[in-house]
A and B are shown apart, each in its own frame.
Chain A
Amino acid sequence: MPDQLLYAMEVTVNGLMAGVLYSLVALGFVLIFKSSGIFNYAQGVFALFAALTLVGIQNGQVPFAHLINSIFGTNIHKFGWHVPSVLAIILTIGVMVLLAILVERYILRHLVNQPDIILFMATIGLAYFLEGFGDIMWGSDLKKLDVNLPQGISETIETTTFNWFGYGFFVDKLDIVATVIAVILVTGLTLFSQYTKQGRALRAVADDHQAALSVGISLRYIWVLVWSIAGFVALVAGMMWGAKSGVQFSLSLIALKALPVLMLGGFTSIPGAIVGGLIIGVGEKLFEFSIGPMIGGATENWFAYVLALLFLVFRPQGLFGEKIIERV
Chain B
Amino acid sequence: MKLKLASMVLAGVMAAVPAMADLVYPSLSYRTGPYAVNGIPFADGYADYFTLINERDGGIGGVPIKMIECETGYNTEKGVECYEATKGQGALIYQPLSTGITYQLIPKASADGIPVHSMGYGRTSAANGKIFEWIFNYPANYWNGASIAINHILDINGGDIAGKSVALVYHNSAYGKEPIRTLEELSKKHGYKLTTIAVDHPGQEQKSQWLQIRREKPDYVLMWGWGVMNPVAIQEAVNIRYPMENFIGIWWSGSENDVIPAGAGANGYKALAFHGVGNDYPLYGDLQKYVVDAGKAAGAGDQLGTVLYNRGLYAAMLAVEATKKAQAIHGVAQVTPAMVRDGMEALEITEASMAALGLPNFGPEISVTCENHGGAGDGAVTQWDAGAQKWNLISDFGPSDMDVIGKLIAGDSAAYAAENKISERCN
Q: Are A250 and B214 in contact (CB under 8 A)?
A: no
Q: Scan A71-98; emit 1 where CB is below 8 A from any B CB, else 0.
A: 0010001000000000000000000000
Q: Taking beta carbons and an 8 Å cutoff, which residues of A are in contact with B?
A: 7, 10-11, 14, 17-18, 21, 66, 69, 73, 77, 131-132, 135, 140-142, 144-145, 151-153, 170, 172, 241, 244-246, 248-254, 257, 285, 288-289, 292, 296-298, 300-301
Q: Taking beta carbons and an 8 Å cutoff, which residues of B are in contact with A?
A: 31-37, 40, 172, 196-202, 204-205, 207-209, 211-212, 214-215, 227-228, 231-232, 235, 238-241, 257, 260-261, 263, 265, 295, 300, 302
A171 to B200, CA, bound (A): 22
A300 to B34, CA, bound (A): 20
Q: Are A245 and B32 in contact (CB under 8 A)?
A: no
Q: Are A170 and B204 in contact (CB under 8 A)?
A: no
Known contacts A10-B211, A140-B31; is-contact A172 B204 (Cβ 8 Å):
no
Q: Are B208 and A250 in contact (CB under 8 A)?
A: no
A21 to B208, CA, bound (A): 15
Known contacts A245-B261, A246-B261, A249-B37; is-contact A152 B211 (Cβ 8 Å):
no
Q: Are A250 and B260 in contact (CB under 8 A)?
A: no
Residues of chain B within 8 A (CB-CB) of A144 are 260-261, 263
How many Å from the CB of B96 to the closest CB on chain A? 19
A73 to B294, CA, bound (A): 12
Across the interface, A249 reaches (CB within 8 A) one of B34, B238, B265, namely B34
Across the interface, B204 reaches (CB within 8 A) one of A7, A253, A289, A296, namely A253
Across the interface, B33 reaches (CB within 8 A) one of A7, A249, A254, namely A249
Q: Are B231 and A245 in contact (CB under 8 A)?
A: yes
27 CB contacts below 8 A, A to B, read A10-B211, A21-B205, A131-B32, A132-B32, A140-B32, A152-B238, A152-B239, A153-B239, A153-B240, A153-B241, A170-B239, A170-B240, A245-B232, A245-B261, A246-B260, A249-B32, A249-B33, A250-B34, A250-B35, A250-B227, A251-B204, A252-B34, A253-B34, A254-B204, A289-B211, A296-B198, A300-B205
Across the interface, B300 reaches (CB within 8 A) one of A11, A66, A289, namely A66
Across the interface, A11 reaches (CB within 8 A) one of B32, B201, B208, B265, namely B208
Known contacts A170-B214, A289-B211, A298-B200; 20 additional CB pairs below 8 A are A10-B211, A17-B207, A69-B300, A132-B32, A140-B40, A141-B40, A152-B265, A170-B239, A244-B204, A244-B235, A245-B235, A245-B261, A249-B37, A251-B228, A253-B34, A253-B202, A253-B228, A257-B204, A298-B198, A301-B200
Residues of chain B within 8 A (CB-CB) of A251 are 204, 228
Q: Are A285 and B260 in contact (CB under 8 A)?
A: no
Residues of chain B within 8 A (CB-CB) of A11 are 208, 211
> Which of B35, B197, B228, B241 neighbours the largest number of chain A CB atoms within 10 Å of its CB?
B228
Residues of chain B within 8 A (CB-CB) of A18 are 205, 207
Across the interface, B207 reaches (CB within 8 A) one of A69, A77, A140, A285, namely A285
Across the interface, A142 reaches (CB within 8 A) one of B197, B261, B295, namely B261
A253 to B241, CA, bound (A): 27
Q: Which A residue sits closest to B30, measured CB to CB?
A: A140
Known contacts A18-B207, A142-B260, A244-B232; is-contact A250 B202 (Cβ 8 Å):
yes
A254 to B205, CA, bound (A): 9
Q: Are B300 and A77 in contact (CB under 8 A)?
A: yes
> Which of A151, A285, A298, A300 neighbours the largest number of chain B CB atoms within 10 Å of its CB?
A298
Residues of chain A within 8 A (CB-CB) of B204 are 241, 244-245, 250-251, 253-254, 257
Residues of chain A within 8 A (CB-CB) of B227 are 250
> Which of A14, A153, A241, A245 neighbours the largest number of chain B CB atoms within 10 Å of its CB?
A245
Q: Are B239 and A141 in contact (CB under 8 A)?
A: no
Residues of chain A within 8 A (CB-CB) of B240 are 153, 170
A145 to B201, CA, bound (A): 22
Residues of chain B within 8 A (CB-CB) of A69 are 300
A322 to B302, CA, bound (A): 54
Residues of chain B within 8 A (CB-CB) of A252 are 34
Q: Which B residue sits closest to A21, measured CB to CB?
A: B205
Residues of chain A within 8 A (CB-CB) of B199 are 298
Residues of chain A within 8 A (CB-CB) of B235 are 151, 244-245
Q: Are A285 and B208 in contact (CB under 8 A)?
A: yes
Q: Are A300 and B200 in contact (CB under 8 A)?
A: yes
How many Å from the CB of A7 to the closest CB on chain B? 6
A245 to B203, CA, bound (A): 10
